[in-house]
């Protein structure tokens, strides 16, 4: 324990002492050079003025020599002390940064380090604070998701085991109603597995660069991306209106199709109320805007701010019931930002519009 405490205090100071020692050498060299120049200049002038009095010349040289030594030593000491305390103040945030990284290594999340400077060190600390906060937030979301998944796996598995054991023991007989219940429970398990696949999809998203882009005619592309949802819309008796302008833009076809699917799936999954789902594509001066509008539950300002965060679900209980993972919109945001675009939401009471903008270049 004493050894660790010694290391904790010695290692940061060792860096400070090295800087101070280097500064002392610089000060000494500068003072000695300046003193030598002053001494020789003064002696040359004095030799011309006191050329007839050798004793005064010698006395002048001795006095000047002594004063220069006093001045040099004083300048070195004062300069070293000032440098030490200045560097100590400058390196204090670095020492705090070292302690915080040690805590993170141990699995702890330290408090934000005060960033009192505007220079490179202050910028480094602010980035570290943001990084630490993001890691802590992701860890909290991960734990919550694992807890939710564990609970959701347990319920259908318990039901399936109960039904199957009852069938095995002859307590109940199989009929259409029972088979439908078993199918629903197995469907819940399938949805949970799909959520776990979404997690892997998110991790893969972090390493994608989307360099494989091609010129795509967006009107036809958007309409084809929506065809897979027509059956679901018909089954739920939801009308859809499409108003998409023609435009050609360079995109990664697969990823943008995924964004459109995520937004439309979200509109269908959380559809509440009356009225159609409206899909629009609009040409702007330097970009193309796609929007999906549909009725749903009213969202607070906080929910709208967090809705694109990883694992966030505005209605946790209903999201689990409907199979929501809290990753679809976060993945969409990642894709659009990799295309140098923007994505967002605006709401008017219970009518929500998810939109994204892709630049032409």
86 and 70 together in one domain: yes
pLDDT in tens, 260-316: 988 998 899 888 888 899 999 999 989 999 999 999 888 888 887 878 876 565 555
Domain of 272: which CATH number?
Answer: 3.30.565.10
| Average pLDDT value over all residues in the chain | 77
DSSP H stretches of helix in 106-175: 120-168
Determine phi and psi for 175, rounding to 5 degrees: -145, 180
Q: Which of 207, 224, 257 is the last residue of a domain?
A: 207
Is residue 310 helix, strand or coil? coil
272 and 352 together in one domain: yes
- Write down the pTM of the prediction: 0.52
pLDDT in tens, 149-192: 676 677 778 878 887 888 888 887 777 877 887 887 787 777 66
Closest to 208 in 3D by CA, of 255, 173, 276: 255
Structural domain contains residue 40: yes
Q: Is 244 a residue whose pLDDT tops 90?
A: yes
Q: Which of 156, 189, 207 is the last residue of a domain?
A: 207
323 and 240 together in one domain: yes
% of the chain surpassing 70 pLDDT? 73
220 and 322 together in one domain: yes
Radius of gyration of the chain from Cα atoms?
A: 36
Structural domain contains residue 118: no
Tracing tokens 């602010």 back to the chain, one arrives at 126
Q: Which of 161, 184, 207 is the last residue of a domain?
A: 207
Structural domain contains residue 23: yes
Distances (CA, A) of 314 to 43, 153, 325, 340: 85, 21, 11, 27
348 and 250 together in one domain: yes
Structural domain contains residue 135: no
Structural domain contains residue 85: yes
Structural domain contains residue 134: no
Q: Is 126 left (phi over 0), alpha (psi -120 to 50) or beta?
A: alpha
What is the total count of domains within the chain? 3
CA 30 to chain centre: 47
Quote the pLDDT of residue 1.
Answer: 47
Query: Which residues lie below 8 Å from residue 57, measured CB to CB, with a gap of 6+?
Result: 46, 47, 50, 51
320 and 271 together in one domain: yes
Determine phi and psi for 339, rounding to 5 degrees: -95, 10
Domain holding 87, by residue range, is: 2-110
pLDDT in tens, 54-113: 666 677 667 767 777 777 777 777 777 777 777 777 777 778 888 888 888 887 888 888
């Amino acid at each position: 324990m004493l050894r660790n405490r010694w290391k904790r205090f010695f290692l940061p100071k060792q860096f400070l002492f090295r800087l101070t020692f280097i500064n002392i050498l610089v000060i000494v060299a500068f003072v000695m050079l300046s003193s030598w120049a002053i001494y020789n200049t003064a002696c040359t002038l004095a030799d011309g003025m006191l050329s007839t009095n050798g004793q005064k010349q010698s006395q002048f040289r001795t006095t000047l020599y002594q004063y220069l030594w006093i001045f040099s030593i004083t300048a070195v000491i004062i300069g070293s002390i000032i440098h030490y305390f200045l560097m100590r103040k400058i390196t204090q945030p670095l020492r705090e940064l070292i302690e915080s990284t040690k805590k993170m290594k141990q699995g702890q999340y330290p408090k934000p380090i005060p960033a009192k400077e505007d220079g490179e060190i202050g910028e480094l600390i602010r980035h570290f604070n943001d990084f630490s906060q993001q890691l802590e937030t992701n860890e909290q979301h991960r734990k919550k998701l694992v807890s939710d998944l564990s609970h959701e796996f347990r319920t259908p598995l318990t039901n399936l085991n109960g039904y199957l054991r009852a069938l095995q023991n002859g307590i109940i007989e199989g009929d259409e109603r029972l088979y439908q219940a078993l199918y629903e429970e197995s469907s819940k398990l399938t949805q949970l597995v799909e959520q776990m696949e979404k997690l892997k999809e998110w991790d893969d998203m972090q390493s994608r660069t989307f360099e494989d882009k091609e010129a795509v005619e967006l009107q036809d592309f958007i309409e084809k991306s929506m065809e897979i949802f027509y059956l679901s819309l018909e089954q739920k008796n939801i009308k859809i209106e499409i108003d998409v302008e023609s435009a050609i833009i360079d995109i990664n076809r697969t990823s943008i199709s995924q964004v459109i699917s995520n937004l439309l799936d979200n509109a269908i999954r959380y559809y509440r109320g009356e009225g159609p789902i409206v899909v629009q594509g609009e040409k702007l001066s330097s970009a193309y805007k796609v929007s999906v509008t549909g009725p749903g539950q009213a969202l607070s300002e906080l929910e709208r701010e967090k809705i694109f965060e990883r694992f966030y679900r505005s209605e946790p209980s209903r999201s689990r019931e409907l199979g929501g993972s809290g990753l679809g919109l976060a993945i969409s945001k990642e894709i659009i930002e990799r295309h140098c675009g923007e994505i967002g939401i605006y709401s008017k009471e219970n009518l929500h519009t998810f939109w994204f903008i892709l630049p032409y270049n």
